[in-house]
A and B are shown apart, each in its own frame.
Chain A
Amino acid sequence: QQQVKQSPQSLIVQKGGISIINCAYENTAFDYFPWYQQFPGKGPALLIAIRPDVSEKKEGRFTISFNKSAKQFSLHIMDSQPGDSATYFCAASKGATNKLIFGTGTLLAVQP
């Protein structure tokens, strides 16, 4: 049972375009939703995170949109650059715990 469902599996975007990755979750007890970025041969690194008391969080070109009623959240990468090419994972956790439940990942390729 996949508690956090992520789509698409892969994504190709032109330089300067907008990349959008979506995630949906089942457990309403989740209260922390981070996105991780992973380059080949490296470990994941935290990109941006949101809590369900806000509907949007923006950090530079990266924005998380959160829809609590639909149990969905998404990552938007504005003005996508070739350097953004990586695998992106959404995740969720609940309560006073660091036990992250990850989505299956999205391989993003930004073409120059």
Chain B
Amino acid sequence: NAGVTQTPKFQVLKTGQSMTLQCAQDMNHEYMSWYRQDPGMGLRLIHYSVGAGITDQGEVPNGYNVSRSTTEDFPLRLLSAAPSQTSVYFCASSYSIGLGNEQFFGPGTRLTVL
């Protein structure tokens, strides 16, 4: 199993550009989520999905869109990048929701918006 994979590892964007961060998992996990990690702020939940076709907002959803057309993939879209979106983005997945369901994190995408 590759686990949770993310592409690209690094990306530089100009303000106003759009891009999609890719996330895939091969563990047949129902739950997937996106977090951003900023210095001094820990990780904050952006969007999450409890299954194919079902998504919902987390703590900091503004400026980001998601969709979940398959169980395996959960892309994160930035429609018009802003410098405030400079961050490290982590995708995570777990078998299901509920107590004790360990979330597995991907290696992250480091995004810089100029």
Chain A: number of interface residues, binned into ranges = 20 to 34
Chain B: number of interface residues, binned into ranges = 20 to 34
A105 to B106, CA, bound (A): 18
**In the assembled complex, how far is the CB of residue A25 from the closest CB belonging to chain B, in whole angstroms?**
13
Interface SS majority for chain A: loop
Give the A-B pair count, Cβ closer than 8 A.
65
Chain A residues, CB < 8 A from B101: 98
A106 to B102, CA, bound (A): 21
Q: Interface code B69-112, partner A: CB below 8 Å = 1, 0 otherwise?
A: 00000000000000000000010101001111111111110000
Tell me if B41 counts as interface (CB < 8 A to partner A): yes
Chain A: residues with CB nearer than 8 A to chain B? 4, 6, 9, 31-32, 36, 41-46, 49, 51, 89, 96-105
